[in-house]
């Protein structure tokens, strides 16, 4: 080997070891959650299948988890007298064994709810009194089961309407909770029951597009009602299902400040950055599938960098940031909202290798 080539190799290896150049392996990148130890926790959504495929990434880069689907009412409570805790327990045990924390997601939602919850054996809608009883039993049992490991719950998910002039999602918008109760009383009861089941857990309301000014106003109205009723609510979960350009950092900051003004904490509960903008014209118009080019990867990394600069500035309000997944080979955005279309929204690529986005948020 010529001396000049040997010299170049020595220099490159030295730079890698010094951290000036990044190896493609995760080992050369600092732990994400340790980097943010002075700011807030860093989490990831996980399914049971992930535990055997990206467990090393989980262990190194995240210090809290959210069960992506396995603690929702449909999977965990498929029949009135039947609870299926196996998958949720596997995730909880993984957290316990590795010294991680766990978010509870979600107790009340209009989607992924079991049919039996709202209907009797004849298929008729149950009474409000019966639904109230079922709500109490579900929350008390599930929260009590994970009381030792879950320190916060998404108590109610997506109960606010997107329709102008209407605050709550009603029966016409798919909420059987509202349809049977006839109003938003079920929201108050859910928070009350969760507080009784675990007085120490932080209780959150969780929603998408919760930084849009019109929706912020509706959520604040709901929170002020709960507070006037002396109901415990500790914070708002912002489902960060955002894209390369939307929403603006200004809107995100304004929303965080608005919620903070009510004495609430904020968590970024479901963060991923889509490479598509299907609502550029206001209405839904899916973009055609596109290649994940170096230019897009760079733009995504800069987007993540800007978001985390804002999050760090709001560390006194933000309690944790949770990514909705870990690697691009297992993201719900490949199938939503436009059918099967390859997306690349997360910090690790299809081969579980770190992307520029990860480097952008650990190097500050």
Q: What is the mean pLDDT of the chain?
A: 93
Report the percent of the chain where pLDDT is more than 70: 93
List, as own/partner pairs, every contact residues 213-220 make where C-beta atoms lie below 8 angstroms and the sequence separation is at least 24, other chains included. 213/251, 213/254, 213/255, 214/164, 215/160, 215/162, 216/254, 216/255, 216/258, 216/259, 218/160, 218/161, 218/167, 219/160, 219/259, 220/258, 220/259, 220/262
Mean pLDDT of 76-91: 98
On whether the CB atoms of residues 203 and 153 are closer than 8 A, the answer is yes
Rounded Cα distance between 130 and 279, Å, is 40
**pLDDT band at residue 11, thresholds of 50, 70 and 90?**
very low
Report the percent of the chain where pLDDT is more than 90: 89
List the catalytic residue out of 68, 158, 184, 258.
Answer: 158
Whole-model pTM?
0.92
289 is catalytic: no
pLDDT at 254: 98
**pLDDT band at residue 219, thresholds of 50, 70 and 90?**
very high
- Res 9 pLDDT > 50: no
Take residue 163 and report the two structure tokens written for it: 């329709």
List the catalytic residue out of 68, 184, 258, 270.
Answer: 270
Maximum distance among all Cα pairs of the chain, rounded to whole angstroms: 84
pLDDT at 18: 37
Take residue 265 and report the two structure tokens written for it: 């904490």
pLDDT at 23: 38
pLDDT in tens, 297-307: 999 999 999 99
Taking CA atoms, 78 is separated from 71, 73, 84, 120, 187, in Å, by 11, 7, 7, 14, 22
pLDDT at 28: 86
Strands (E), 16-114: 41-46, 64-67, 101-108
270 is catalytic: yes
Residues found in the chain: 364
pLDDT at 282: 84
CB atoms within 10 A of CB 73: 21
């Amino acid at each position: 080997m010529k001396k000049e080539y040997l010299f170049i190799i020595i220099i490159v290896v030295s730079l890698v070891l010094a951290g000036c150049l990044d190896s493609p392996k995760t080992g050369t990148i600092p732990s994400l959650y340790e980097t943010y130890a002075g700011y807030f926790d860093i989490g990831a959504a996980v399914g049971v299948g992930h535990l055997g495929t990206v467990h090393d990434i989980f262990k190194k880069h995240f210090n809290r988890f959210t069960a992506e689907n396995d603690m929702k009412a449909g999977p965990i409570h498929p029949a009135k007298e039947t609870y299926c805790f196996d998958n949720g327990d596997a995730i909880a045990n993984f957290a316990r064994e590795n010294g991680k924390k766990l978010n509870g997601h979600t107790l009340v939602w209009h989607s992924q709810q079991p049919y039996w919850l709202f209907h009797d054996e004849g298929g008729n809608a149950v009474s409000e009194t019966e639904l109230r009883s079922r709500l109490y039993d579900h929350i008390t049992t599930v929260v009590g089961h994970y009381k030792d490991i879950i320190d916060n719950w998404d108590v109610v998910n997506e109960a606010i309407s997107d329709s102008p002039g209407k605050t709550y999602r009603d029966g016409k918008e798919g909420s059987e909770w509202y349809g049977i109760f006839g109003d938003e009383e079920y929201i108050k009861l859910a928070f009350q029951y969760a507080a009784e089941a675990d007085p120490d857990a932080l209780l959150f309301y969780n929603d998408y597009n919760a930084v849009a000014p019109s929706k912020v106003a509706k959520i604040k109205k709901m929170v002020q009602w709960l507070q006037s009723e002396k109901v415990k609510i500790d914070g708002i979960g912002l489902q960060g299902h955002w894209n390369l350009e939307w929403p603006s950092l200004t809107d995100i900051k304004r929303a965080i400040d608005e919620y903070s003004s009510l004495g609430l904490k904020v968590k970024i509960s479901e963060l991923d950055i889509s490479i598509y903008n299907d609502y550029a014209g206001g209405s839904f118009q899916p973009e055609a599938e596109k290649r994940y080019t170096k230019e897009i990867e760079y733009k995504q990394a800069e987007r993540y960098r800007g978001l985390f600069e804002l999050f760090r500035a709001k560390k006194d309000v933000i309690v944790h940031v949770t990514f909705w997944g870990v690697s691009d080979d297992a993201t719900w955005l490949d199938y939503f909202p436009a059918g099967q279309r390859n997306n690349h929204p997360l910090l690790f690529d299809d081969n579980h290798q770190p992307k520029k986005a990860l480097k952008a948020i650990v190097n500050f």
